[in-house]
Structures are given as structure tokens and as C-alpha cells.
């Protein structure tokens, strides 16, 4: 299945990061806070000096929904699938919408440690991360 969403120019830093197998989010150089989605002005201080910051640290499951009905027939073969809100310890306030893989719905819980997977097609997916002792 081909999924080719239109790409707004303000997302270029995010997709450039994916090309390097990195997650990058906009961070204001004035107040140093992150935001998501990309914006021309910082939603916290209204500054316009915004850069891209690579976020390498741990991710966790903020919330999710399990999709069991294909509103678009193209997705029928993938049911059920999980759409997640993923949060990042290094990027407070960022919650990225993504898909979870290799995790059964009954395993899902808020705060579940996640790690990114970069399939090389300009997506990022997340799977359960090994928990550290
Ligand atoms: Zn700011």
C-alpha cells in the first residue's frame, strides 16, 4: 500500500531527521522549549528563532487507540492496528502520533517504554523497548 501524504515545508526538519534515522523536533532558541507540530512562531513565547533538536532519549506511550474498523479500504488488511501518542523525556510537551508494531493490544499501558523503528520510507514506528534495570 502506498501512503504519500502531502508534506508541508515546515516539516522538512522532521523528515530530514528520519532520513538519518533520527527524531528531530522544533525547539525555540529563545525560551528553549519544544513544540509540535512545527510552527512559524513559538507557541510559548511567540519567538520566531526556531531550530531542530535531535531527541535520542527514551520514549513512552502517552495514549493510544486500537483501530478495528477500516474507514479506508486500503487499511483493511492491517486491522487491528494501534495509533499511539508517543511522548519523549528529552522533549517535554511533544506528543507524536505514530503506529505501534510488534505489541499486542493487551500489552499496552500508559508509560510503556518505546523505541523508534525507522523502516526507511519516511515513517517512524515504535515498538516496546527493553526496560532497564
Ligand atoms: Zn519560545
Query: Which residues lie closer than 8 Å to 69 by C-beta, 6 or more apart?
Result: 79
User: How many Å apart are CA 35 and CA 91, to the nearest integer?
Assistant: 8
Q: What's the 74 CA to ligand 1 centre distance in angstroms?
A: 40
Q: Mean pLDDT across the stretch 32-51?
A: 96
Q: Share the mean pLDDT of the chain.
A: 91
| Percent over 90 (pLDDT), the chain | 77
What pLDDT does 130 receive? Answer: 82
| Residue where the block lists cell 523503528 | 117
Q: How far is the CA of 110 from the centre of ligand 1 (A)?
A: 29
The arithmetic mean of pLDDT across residues 117-133, rounded, is 86
pLDDT-based confidence at 112, cuts 50/70/90?
A: very high
26: burial class by Cβ within 10 Å (0-12, 13-18, 19+)?
buried
What is the CA(54)–ligand 1 centre distance, in A? 17
Report residue 56's pLDDT band, with 50, 70 and 90 as the boundaries. confident
Q: How many CB atoms lie within 10 A of CB 32?
A: 11
DSSP state string for 14-38 = HHHHHHTT--EEEEETTT--B-SS-
DSSP H/E element including 41: none
**d(CA 64, ligand 1 centre) in Å:** 28
pLDDT exceeds 80 at position 128: yes
Q: What is the pTM of this model?
A: 0.88
Ligand 1 geometric centre to CA of 12 (Å):
20
77 CA distance to ligand 1 middle (Å): 43
Amino acid at each position: 500500500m502506498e501512503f504519500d501524504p502531502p508534506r508541508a515545508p515546515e516539516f522538512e526538519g522532521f523528515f530530514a531527521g528520519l532520513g538519518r534515522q533520527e527524531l528531530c523536533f522544533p525547539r525555540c532558541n529563545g525560551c528553549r522549549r519544544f513544540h509540535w507540530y512545527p510552527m512559524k512562531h513559538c507557541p510559548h513565547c511567540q519567538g520566531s528563532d526556531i531550530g531542530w533538536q535531535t531527541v535520542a532519549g527514551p520514549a513512552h506511550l502517552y495514549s493510544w487507540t486500537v483501530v478495528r474498523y477500516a474507514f479506508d479500504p486500503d487499511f483493511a488488511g492491517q486491522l487491528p492496528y494501534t495509533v499511539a501518542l508517543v511522548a519523549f523525556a528529552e522533549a517535554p510537551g511533544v506528543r507524536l502520533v505514530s503506529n505501534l508494531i510488534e505489541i499486542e493490544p493487551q500489552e499496552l499501558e500508559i508509560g510503556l517504554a518505546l523505541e523508534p523503528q525507522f523502516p526507511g520510507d519516511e515513517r517512524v514506528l515504535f515498538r516496546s523497548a527493553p526496560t532497564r534495570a
